[in-house]
Amino acid sequence: NSNPHPKNTNVRISLPAVCFVWQLAMIILFGFFIRYNAESDVHWKQENKNISRSDIENDFYFRYPSFQDVHVMIFVGFGFLMTFLKRYSFGAVGFNLLIAAFGLQWALLMQGWFHSLDPMDGKIKIGVESMINADFCVASCLIAYGAVLGKVSPVQLMVMTLFGVTLYAVEEYIILNLIHARDAGGSMVIHTFGAYYGLSISWMLYRPNLDKRLNGSVYHSDVFAMIGTLFLWMFWPSFNSAISYHGDGQHRAAINTYLSLAATVLTTVAISSLSQKAGKLDMVHIQNSTLAGGVAVGTAAEFMLMPYGSLIVGFCCGIISTLGYIYLTPFMEKYLKIQDTCGIHNLHAMPGVIGGIVGAITAAAASEGVYGKEGLKTVFDFTGKWENMLPTQQGGHQAAGLCVALCFGIGGGILVGCVLRLPIWGDAPDDHCFDDELYWEVPEDEESIPPILEYDNHIRNQAG
Amino acid sequence: NSNPHPKNTNVRISLPAVCFVWQLAMIILFGFFIRYNAESDVHWKQENKNISRSDIENDFYFRYPSFQDVHVMIFVGFGFLMTFLKRYSFGAVGFNLLIAAFGLQWALLMQGWFHSLDPMDGKIKIGVESMINADFCVASCLIAYGAVLGKVSPVQLMVMTLFGVTLYAVEEYIILNLIHARDAGGSMVIHTFGAYYGLSISWMLYRPNLDKRLNGSVYHSDVFAMIGTLFLWMFWPSFNSAISYHGDGQHRAAINTYLSLAATVLTTVAISSLSQKAGKLDMVHIQNSTLAGGVAVGTAAEFMLMPYGSLIVGFCCGIISTLGYIYLTPFMEKYLKIQDTCGIHNLHAMPGVIGGIVGAITAAAASEGVYGKEGLKTVFDFTGKWENMLPTQQGGHQAAGLCVALCFGIGGGILVGCVLRLPIWGDAPDDHCFDDELYWEVPEDEESIPPILEYDNHIRNQAG
Amino acid sequence: NSNPHPKNTNVRISLPAVCFVWQLAMIILFGFFIRYNAESDVHWKQENKNISRSDIENDFYFRYPSFQDVHVMIFVGFGFLMTFLKRYSFGAVGFNLLIAAFGLQWALLMQGWFHSLDPMDGKIKIGVESMINADFCVASCLIAYGAVLGKVSPVQLMVMTLFGVTLYAVEEYIILNLIHARDAGGSMVIHTFGAYYGLSISWMLYRPNLDKRLNGSVYHSDVFAMIGTLFLWMFWPSFNSAISYHGDGQHRAAINTYLSLAATVLTTVAISSLSQKAGKLDMVHIQNSTLAGGVAVGTAAEFMLMPYGSLIVGFCCGIISTLGYIYLTPFMEKYLKIQDTCGIHNLHAMPGVIGGIVGAITAAAASEGVYGKEGLKTVFDFTGKWENMLPTQQGGHQAAGLCVALCFGIGGGILVGCVLRLPIWGDAPDDHCFDDELYWEVPEDEESIPPILEYDNHIRNQAG
């Protein structure tokens, strides 16, 4: 066989092995560690009667609608956003499903060990909030997927997700619990971490001879991608409010996100139109940069950011993100050797960092006049050992949290990138990236549809 | 340059200018006027403790799931419904996003000045209900977009939306507050107004030499449009119940809409099949007329319309709307010089008027026997200065409301149409309407996908 | 006319007649029988004040978000899942809408007569739970549609739905009320019944000379089908928890389903990759088998199945379902003469039966140690005449329920299959199955899009 291709992309042993073994491991670990929490356990109802509490006060009714919106963002939002490539839609939406389905199980365990381990029996107790947090954790890995879309094998994606979820759980614990930063919508914890994790991996896997013929869209694939864009755009208010505290916290987070995203759309369109010769819009900008405002308002979503504050954040992010697509992405590829298929640096990294900074400033500027004494306590959780914390201090802690997210993203990405460079994972050769053909049974072309003209005529005759 | 085209479609200055300046204006106006309302303000939780009210009684939990459904209707529903054109899917879904994102901000201001201005501090207080109302207001402008789809520039759409939202806020105030008509699902306020607004504009912008080669669908664009249809169809019960009063009001509005839409599907299919030679169905009817029942049941949705009443409304609207597509749309184009790309006259105008009439009749026929004394008060809001109103009087007021919606739609549309006829907006020439090429960077054709047969063979050999 | 086709597919009389007459019958029956229930009636609010109950305790707020998710599954989920065929997407999504819209009305009546007939006035009282149950009932008919997709006429589908809903209501009454089996997510009542109903009909309508040229996908139709897959996958937790009891019941059902589905994805990918030469994945498996875990966890969803139990169920079903597509579907066609277009035997029949068995085992194994005395009562509804029932007995009743579902499915399917073999329904000839051309006005091909190059050049010149 005189075939010149050096790479073996056959994953017939590695992919099933990884899926089977890891899923079996999940079952065993779940058996040892995971149980229903008080609100999903059968004893809740009984206990309810004793204290005359209404069934509607189960956390399920506070959070389940938001959970489902987040769930749609993870699977349809991220999945379809990446279908824009002309011949990688199966990989976009299919591998997205695969790694999210694995990631959420592993996230329930990792986050559980750090956050919801019951000291009484050593078990992790899960409920609707755990499901939201697992989805959040998975989001960071799907963001990272965006940087390497079309260039890695499904086995590499599973490895990326395994390590990504692990790193996420640790940085989340450090940022939220040890540093005591607040991050309702995860600008730092999810977006900054996830984006730099993916970019660092992409840097480690740099392909100088990448063939870009398939790295582009066709008309219909761009419309498919808009399904992803719109579900992300519409449900982002649910994302940023999903784990805020009950009542006005969730309410305010939703309003702030709704407004920020609206402003982003207008500035994205403005910059996109300005950047083209005849003022034409570029679908890449509309598909991605319109979402930057949701990322950037994440940390401060439940703070008293004020409606105009949300608009300002959205205004700036639309500009920065679109300019990033025009100038920064080509620059990064050429000079920094970072190939970023979906432009996650513009959609998640920069807006995530901005979100962290906005959160730090808003926290530092929080005053008793605006929040009230009790409000400060609730919003910033100044309780327990943090009882005497001041808003200005909180601002510093927010900034520290941002640094941790950056370090974990970059450091973790370089480490995992080293692992992924091993020649055992079945990744694509440079001249067959962005091609579903390698990992999917692709149906034949549309031209194979036979013309059935004669029969149609027959029907017309009948009808007469 | 001997190019024969007289029109300049370059929007590179006007579009960014409009987006930037208007968004900046929004930020300034929001800074002056818009604040969180009591239920999204940080003091709510504290106040809550004082009066021992549960967190779950925040209006957020009553309305947020419905808000998200409405949000999906606005962005995915309307956006994808209009992707049916073979080469205008970018414009459909992209401009829909643009004008909705601008419109909702302007609507929060306009509606706020009329409805939620706090007399204490002169600020507009917003919450989840304001977001729903802003989305509703935007819906009327998106309906109007349907009439001119493919024939106007994005700048014209922004102007249409600016005026449309303004007119909407005024007519809504007149109909709901001054005339005291009820209109839960907006048959009059949203659909009748929006449709006649769009039709009048289209009449003002009549193009006698319109090239219709691109005014049609291809197979896949019809499937994309069904995404829009279905999300509108499924979530319409949420639309009509989103701002009904808590409890049985929302419950009943959802049931009535659910039933009306079901009946509409059957009569739409019946008429569509009857109208074709061999009993074949027409996708245009299925995509649009199946929704007419949701429009027509809007005003009466929270009334005691009775399940069979809802079915009757849906039954009639499916017939009328489909007949409209078959006979009225071509008639209007030929004799009235109204070019209605999406057929909004059949989907929104006629069903909207029917909805207003149904509302008037149902209100006039309301009796204490069915509603109870308290029920009449609640459903028709017979409080304050309207305390002694009778159902029959209410019927008259409903009819008056319908007339106001019609007048504002037609009058406003003619006015705005005059503005849009100015030769400065960059609209398309007659022979290049319905073409994304003018305002979008369109990717190359599918044929450019290179065949990668040799490599595939290589893989097959490996696999052996 | 020397046309060789013997079959007349003209439905111009039969389809409109069926739609009109049946819809009229619905209106009349609704007029006689259907009224709002207490929670959607206008008197609820008044009554509320008397007993100082909060508005939020209306069942609407417990179930409406789940209802909307189920609604999306029925119309977008099932509808788009079936768009995978290259030339039957209109029929998939359009006929799905038609029969669901009719089926839900008939289901409200049939289920109402059995379950919610008010003995005081002889009326059926409907609310949000009735709407969910009607959607559930329709689901069984849409499953059946999957077996005969592309091979029957819309009139046959209407007949199938009429009888399907009727049979469903009876078997549901026998299984849930007479036998007192529990079936929250309908593994037996919906999936087992629906799948065997469809398979039996397909067996009765066996076509030995079926032309399969159009029985396959193209690239974009596979992506469309993934929309259906994902909305089913994401919202299945809502499906299985939609009519569970309030509080921990709904909460637990959602968690169990979420986990089961995640595990299914990994084993589906594993088996799919193993089954192909180079480890490539097959879209058919990803589109369908990834959902099997949701089916199989249906009956036991609200039981204390434990998180690891859910994972085990999902693990097994991914394997069995994918193996079914590889080995069983071709076997059934060749030797049992059952042509199953969508492979519902692998997605609904086998997982449904497994779900019934899992439910029986979990019920029989239920102990007071895990559930508590009150918990057993609530979860298994050991009240009234079933007060002294033991979990082991309940296990037997569950098994009995499964048998009833099987019998009704197979028996009913054979019966209805006989009716559908009458040569009056306008079904397709063997060589024109899977073709929208027969029942739809199909737009011309994409090639008809005219190239508009000259104008584009004009714009570029302008822009300079």
The helix or strand, by DSSP H or E, that contains position A463, with its residue range, turns out to be helix A453-463
Query: Averaged over C376-383, what is the pLDDT?
Result: 93
pTM, to two decimals: 0.96
| Residue A461 confidence (pLDDT) above 80 | no
Domain-located, residue C222: no
pLDDT tens, position by position, A396-423: 999 999 999 999 999 999 999 999 999 9
Residues of C in contact with A107 (CB under 8 A): none
What six digits make up the tokens of B338? 């109204």
Q: Give the angle B440-B445-B450 at the CA atoms, nearest 5°.
A: 135
Beta bridge partners of B36: B126
Q: Judge: C223–A224 Cβ closer than 8 Å, yes or no.
A: yes
Give the helix ranges, DSSP H, for B152-289: 154-172, 193-204, 219-241, 248-275, 283-288
Q: Judge: C266–A98 Cβ closer than 8 Å, yes or no.
A: yes
Q: Are C339 and C146 in contact (CB under 8 A)?
A: no
Q: Which candidate in A66, A230, A381 is best for mutational testing of the B interface (most B CBs within 10 A)?
A: A230
Give the helix ranges, DSSP H, for B41-88: 43-50, 59-72, 78-81
Q: Nearest CA of chain A to the CA of B215: how many Å?
A: 17
In this prediction, residue B75 carries a pLDDT of 98
What six digits make up the tokens of A373? 């004494």
Give the integer Cα–Cα distance in Å for C400 and C409. Answer: 14
Q: Which residues have CB under 8 Å from A325's CB, separation 6+?
A: A282, A284, A285, A288, A289, A343, A346
Beta bridge partners of A118: A123
Predicted complex ipTM: 0.95
Q: Which candidate in A233, A275, A281 is best for mutational testing of the B interface (most B CBs within 10 A)?
A: A281
DSSP C371-427: HHHHHHHHHHT--GGGTT--HHHHHHHHHHHHHHHHHHHHHHHHHHHHHHTSTTS-P
Give the integer Cα–Cα distance in Å for C272 and C318. Answer: 10
Give the integer Cα–Cα distance in Å for A413 and A160. Answer: 9
| Residue C446 confidence (pLDDT) above 80 | no
| Residue A300 confidence (pLDDT) above 50 | yes
Q: Using 50 as the pLDDT threshold, list the residues of chain B that sit under it.
A: 1-4, 452-458, 460-461, 463-464
Give the closest residue to B13 by CA, choosing from B424, B423, B416.
Answer: B424
Give the integer Cα–Cα distance in Å for B87 and B214. Answer: 7
Q: Judge: A15–C269 Cβ closer than 8 Å, yes or no.
A: yes
Q: Read off the amino acid at residue C357.
A: I
Which structural domain, as residue segments, surrounds residue C307?
67-207+227-421
Lowest average pLDDT, out of A138-152, A370-384, B93-107, C289-303, goes to A370-384
Domain-located, residue A9: no
Domain-located, residue A450: no
Residue given tokens 């026929």 in the structure block: B365
Residues of A in contact with C379 (CB under 8 A): 42
The two beta strands, A123-126 and A117-118, are antiparallel
In this prediction, residue B52 carries a pLDDT of 80
More confident call, C449 vs C425:
C425
Lowest average pLDDT, out of A120-134, A208-222, A443-457, B281-295, goes to A443-457
| Residue A4 confidence (pLDDT) above 60 | no
In this prediction, residue C53 carries a pLDDT of 85
For B457, nearest residue in chain A (alpha carbons): A3
Interface contacts A/B by beta carbons within 8 Å: 266
Closest in A16, A43, A128 to C274, CB measured: A16
pLDDT band at C333 (very low <50, low <70, confident <90, very high): very high
Give the integer Cα–Cα distance in Å for A414 and A408. Answer: 10
Using CB atoms within 10 Å of the CB of residue A418, give its burial: 0 to 12 exposed, 13 to 18 middle, 19+ buried: exposed
For C2, nearest residue in chain A (alpha carbons): A458
Q: Nearest CA of chain C to the CA of A63: how many Å?
A: 11
For A461, nearest residue in chain C (alpha carbons): C1
What six digits make up the tokens of B101? 């994102």
Give the integer Cα–Cα distance in Å for B456 and A321. Answer: 38
Q: Are A29 and C245 in contact (CB under 8 A)?
A: no
Domain-located, residue C33: no
Give the integer Cα–Cα distance in Å for A83 and A224. Answer: 6
Give the integer Cα–Cα distance in Å for C247 and A388. Answer: 37
| Residue C277 confidence (pLDDT) above 90 | no
For B218, nearest residue in chain C (alpha carbons): C443
Q: Judge: B308–C34 Cβ closer than 8 Å, yes or no.
A: yes
Give the integer Cα–Cα distance in Å for B401 and B404. Answer: 5
pLDDT tens, position by position, A322-344: 999 999 999 999 999 999 999 99
Percent of chain C with pLDDT strictly greater than 90: 88
Q: Read off the amino acid at residue C252.
A: R
- Buried/exposed C362-391: b ≥16 CB within 10 Å, e otherwise: bbbebeeeebbeebbbbbbebeeeeeebeb
In this prediction, residue A116 carries a pLDDT of 86
Q: Judge: A273–B459 Cβ closer than 8 Å, yes or no.
A: no
| Residue C2 confidence (pLDDT) above 50 | no
Residues of A in contact with B453 (CB under 8 A): none
Q: Are A115 and A168 in contact (CB under 8 A)?
A: no
Residues of C in contact with A23 (CB under 8 A): 263, 266-267, 270, 311, 315
pLDDT tens, position by position, B395-449: 999 999 999 999 999 999 999 999 999 999 999 999 999 999 999 999 976 555 5
Domain-located, residue B290: yes
Q: Judge: A3–B131 Cβ closer than 8 Å, yes or no.
A: no
| Domain containing residue B176: CATH number | 1.10.3430.10
Instruction: Determine how many CB atoms are found less than 10 A away from the CB of residue A336.
Output: 14
Q: Judge: A11–C273 Cβ closer than 8 Å, yes or no.
A: yes
Closest in A234, A315, A463 to B72, CB measured: A234
More confident call, C271 vs B431:
C271
Residues of B in contact with A250 (CB under 8 A): 58, 60, 64
For A14, nearest residue in chain C (alpha carbons): C279
What six digits make up the tokens of C402? 């499964």
Closest in A282, A304, A437 to B456, CB measured: A437
| Residue A302 confidence (pLDDT) above 90 | yes
Closest in C16, C36, C452 to B432, CB measured: C452
Write the Ramachandran bin of C372: left for phi over 0, alpha for psi from -120 to 50, otherwise beta.
left
In this prediction, residue A444 carries a pLDDT of 75
In this prediction, residue B294 carries a pLDDT of 97
Q: Judge: C10–A131 Cβ closer than 8 Å, yes or no.
A: no
Q: Judge: A278–C308 Cβ closer than 8 Å, yes or no.
A: no
Residues of B in contact with A261 (CB under 8 A): 101
Q: Judge: C90–B283 Cβ closer than 8 Å, yes or no.
A: yes
The helix or strand, by DSSP H or E, that contains position B125, with its residue range, turns out to be strand B124-126
Q: Are B353 and B384 in contact (CB under 8 A)?
A: no
Q: Nearest CA of chain C to the CA of B352: how many Å?
A: 22
Q: At what angle do helices A154-172 and A391-420 cross, to 10 degrees?
A: 150
Give the integer Cα–Cα distance in Å for C68 and B239. Answer: 12
Residues of C in contact with A442 (CB under 8 A): 219
Distance, CA of A135 to chain centre:
9
Q: Judge: A58–C86 Cβ closer than 8 Å, yes or no.
A: no
What 3-state class would DSSP assign to C13? coil
The two beta strands, C34-36 and B34-36, are unpaired
Domain-located, residue B440: no
In this prediction, residue B9 carries a pLDDT of 87
pLDDT band at A51 (very low <50, low <70, confident <90, very high): confident
Beta bridge partners of C36: C126
For C439, nearest residue in chain B (alpha carbons): B280
Query: Averaged over C145-172, what is the pLDDT?
Result: 97
> Chains contacting A with at least 3 CB pairs below 8 Å?
B, C
pLDDT tens, position by position, A188-216: 999 999 999 999 999 999 999 999 889 99
pLDDT tens, position by position, A218-231: 999 999 999 999 99
Closest in A10, A34, A446 to C279, CB measured: A10
Query: Averaged over C396-424, what is the pLDDT?
Result: 97
In chain B, the number of structural domains is 1
Q: Are A186 and A139 in contact (CB under 8 A)?
A: yes
Q: Judge: C11–B273 Cβ closer than 8 Å, yes or no.
A: yes
In this prediction, residue C322 carries a pLDDT of 98
Residues of B in contact with C94 (CB under 8 A): 226, 281, 283, 286
For B43, nearest residue in chain A (alpha carbons): A375
Q: Judge: A218–B449 Cβ closer than 8 Å, yes or no.
A: yes
Q: Judge: C90–B459 Cβ closer than 8 Å, yes or no.
A: no
In this prediction, residue B449 carries a pLDDT of 54
Interface contacts A/C by beta carbons within 8 Å: 265
More confident call, A313 vs C374:
A313
Closest in A214, A308, A463 to B34, CB measured: A308
Closest in B61, B220, B222 to C56, CB measured: B61
Q: Which residues have CB under 8 Å from C264's CB, separation 6+?
A: A101, C289, C290, C291, C292, C293, C294, C314, C315, C317, C318, C321
Q: Judge: C93–B216 Cβ closer than 8 Å, yes or no.
A: no
Query: Averaged over A49-60, what is the pLDDT?
Result: 89
Average pLDDT, chain C: 93
In this prediction, residue A449 carries a pLDDT of 54
pLDDT tens, position by position, C244-257: 999 999 999 999 99
Q: Judge: A439–C280 Cβ closer than 8 Å, yes or no.
A: yes
Q: Are B184 and B378 in contact (CB under 8 A)?
A: no
Q: Judge: A234–B441 Cβ closer than 8 Å, yes or no.
A: no
Q: Judge: C218–A446 Cβ closer than 8 Å, yes or no.
A: yes
Give the closest residue to B78 by CA, choosing from B229, B300, B267.
Answer: B229
Closest in C46, C104, C277 to B460, CB measured: C277
Using CB atoms within 10 Å of the CB of residue A369, give its burial: 0 to 12 exposed, 13 to 18 middle, 19+ buried: exposed
In this prediction, residue C163 carries a pLDDT of 98
Domain-located, residue B443: no
Q: Are A297 and A352 in contact (CB under 8 A)?
A: no
Q: Are B81 and B229 in contact (CB under 8 A)?
A: yes
Q: Nearest CA of chain A to the CA of B18: how many Å?
A: 8
Distance, CA of A149 to chain centre:
14
Q: Are A192 and A139 in contact (CB under 8 A)?
A: no
Q: Are C175 and C181 in contact (CB under 8 A)?
A: yes
Domain-located, residue A280: yes
DSSP C165-211: HHHHHHHHIIIIIIS----TT-IIIIIIHHHHHHHHHHHHT--TT--
For C447, nearest residue in chain A (alpha carbons): A447
Q: Judge: B290–C456 Cβ closer than 8 Å, yes or no.
A: no
Q: Judge: C234–A71 Cβ closer than 8 Å, yes or no.
A: yes
